[in-house]
Amino acid sequence: MNYGTKLQEIRERQGLSITKISKVLNISDSLYSRYEKEIQTIPIKHLITICEYFNISIDYVFGFTQNKEINTKINPKLSPERIKNFRKTNKITQQKLADLLNTTKSVICGYEKGRYLIATPFLYEICKKYNVSADYLLGRIN
């Protein structure tokens, strides 16, 4: 996905250590280091926390835009609705989206019902393939 370099760049630009960011996320230094090296995929909840902490766009971290500043928090009530609306607007069935993401229809249904936040790799893939904003889908921007 190539977000690790951006995370490292953002952290270093602010003069912060891995330890500081790890404490913000309440995880170990080694785990956060694996996120920056993309050895392990960063969970969406940690990516959101980092973006809100630095007031930056998820789209910027993903490399979809050069516009990095965003000062709003995620609206968890909007995300399920926006994912569903995106899918319907693009005339994609839940099964077709599940197939694209190599997951199950029940996972897509869970995202659309707000049972849990969309997985980072799935969000990235949707945004990349359909040229839609991650910040929009997560309810951070209109």
CATH number at residue 110: 1.10.260.40
Burial bucket for residue 106 (CB in 10 Å: 0-12, 13-18, 19+): exposed
pLDDT tens digit string along 15-65? 999 999 999 999 999 999 999 999 999 999 999 999 999 999 999 999 999
| pLDDT, position 68 | 82
Residue 124 belongs to some domain of the structure? yes
How many domains is the chain partitioned into structurally? Answer: 2
pLDDT tens digit string along 66-89? 888 887 888 888 999 999 999 999
Indicate if 48 and 93 belong to the same structural domain: no
**Rounded Cα gap, residues 141 and 24, in angstroms:** 23
* Token reading at 75: 């609206």
In 3D, which of 67, 29, 48 has the Cα closest to residue 137?
Answer: 48
Residue 53 belongs to some domain of the structure? yes
- With beta carbons less than 8 A apart as the criterion, state whether 41 and 2 touch: no
Indicate if 12 and 51 belong to the same structural domain: yes
Residue 30 belongs to some domain of the structure? yes
Residue 73 belongs to some domain of the structure? no
For tokens 């809100």, what's the residue? 52
Residue 57 belongs to some domain of the structure? yes
Residue 72 belongs to some domain of the structure? no
